[in-house]
């Protein structure tokens, strides 16, 4: 019997530019692009090549910041995908158009399957990988931490169920250890449920 905590799809890696970087108000971009690539705008005279557009010093600084944010966002999501393996989906990005007319990724997320498996042992192994995926980037976001906490709660529930079946939950000592583990699992489950209203089967969390 599987644990009663299941989230079919959580989003991890919800990442946006730090607020200290002045990227168009909240960092998600006043102009959101539908594609990952933009073309440089030219003057109405039109004969000027796109790579010779002259930018002010302030605009050049903003482009450099956007390039750095783009690199950080893509690295962050790639870390989630690499650690999540088959449980992680493809990354999606939010783009901001820079003063050079190009689009830069300023936020992103990766969906991950954090639902319980039919067998407790399989759930335990899966939750360990889900947690590893959530915490894979060097700078986990608050959403990443929520997913990791949910994975811990689901894993504890599965460990309790495994002990009830006579298996080895991975920890615990002889003589009454199961009761304490059950209490810890119940507490962790409750705490994880407090982290977001999406902690129900078939729903996801997005920040």
For helices 177-194 and 142-164, give the axis angle rounded to 10 degrees.
150
**Highest-confidence range of 37-51, 67-81, 161-175, by mean pLDDT?**
67-81
**Per-residue confidence band for 150, with pLDDT thresholds at 50, 70 and 90:** very high
Global confidence as pTM: 0.61
Residue 166 — pLDDT band, cuts 50, 70, 90?
confident
- pLDDT, tens digit, 9 for 90 and up, residues 107-116: 999 999 999 9
Average pLDDT score over residue span 1-23: 49
Q: What is the mean pLDDT of the chain?
A: 72
Q: What is the reported pLDDT for 41?
A: 40
pLDDT of residue 14 exceeding 70, the answer is no
Q: Which pLDDT value is given to residue 205?
A: 38
């Amino acid at each position: 019997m599987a644990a009663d905590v299941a989230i079919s799809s959580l989003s991890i890696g919800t990442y946006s530019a730090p607020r200290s970087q002045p990227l168009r108000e909240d960092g998600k971009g006043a102009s959101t692009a539908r594609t990952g690539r933009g073309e440089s705008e030219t003057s109405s005279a039109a004969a000027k090549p796109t790579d010779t557009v002259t930018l002010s010093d302030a605009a050049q600084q903003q482009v450099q910041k956007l390039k750095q944010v783009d690199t950080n966002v893509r690295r962050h999501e790639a870390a989630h995908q690499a650690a999540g393996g088959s449980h992680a989906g493809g990354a999606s990005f939010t783009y901001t158009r820079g003063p050079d007319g190009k689009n830069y990724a300023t936020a992103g997320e990766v969906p991950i399957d954090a639902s319980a498996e039919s067998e407790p042992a399989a759930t335990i192994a899966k939750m360990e990988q889900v947690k590893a995926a959530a915490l894979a980037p060097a700078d986990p976001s608050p959403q990443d931490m929520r997913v990791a906490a949910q994975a811990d709660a689901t894993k504890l529930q599965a460990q309790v169920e495994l002990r009830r079946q006579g298996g080895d939950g991975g920890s615990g000592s002889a003589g009454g250890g199961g009761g304490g583990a059950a209490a810890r699992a119940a507490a962790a489950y409750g705490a994880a449920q407090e982290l977001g209203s999406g902690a129900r089967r078939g729903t996801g969390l997005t920040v």
